[in-house]
């Protein structure tokens, strides 16, 4: 599925950018141009970023 129609960026490409360290819409745009056209995909990109980090394990200090 396409995340960004303007630049033909697919969901998996955005997820790859997130896994590589992109943490903001701007960083995604810099990495793969998604979100830098009309802006209609920005909510989807934000959701993808939030979903990725919501599923990451949280480090808990023991002691």
Helix ranges (H only) for the chain are 11-19, 25-32, 42-54
Domain boundaries, the chain: 2-54
Q: Using CA atoms, how far apart are residues 16 and 14, in angstroms rounded to an integer?
A: 5
Question: What per-residue confidence (pLDDT) applies to 55?
Answer: 77
| Confidence check: pLDDT of 5 > 90 | yes
Q: Give tens-digit pLDDT for 8-59.
A: 999 999 999 999 999 999 999 999 999 999 999 999 999 999 999 897 666 6
Task: State both tokens at 12.
Answer: 């998996």
**Domain 2-54 maps to which CATH number in 3.40.50.2020, 2.40.50.1020, 1.10.10.1100, 2.40.50.1070?**
1.10.10.1100
pTM metric for this prediction: 0.84
Q: Are 42 and 12 in contact (CB under 8 A)?
A: no
């Amino acid at each position: 599925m396409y995340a960004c129609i303007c630049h033909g960026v697919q969901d998996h490409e955005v997820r790859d950018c997130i896994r590589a360290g992109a943490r903001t819409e701007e960083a995604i745009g810099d990495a793969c141009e998604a979100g830098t056209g009309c802006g209609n995909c920005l909510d989807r990109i934000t959701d993808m970023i939030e979903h990725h980090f919501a599923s990451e394990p949280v480090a808990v200090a023991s002691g």
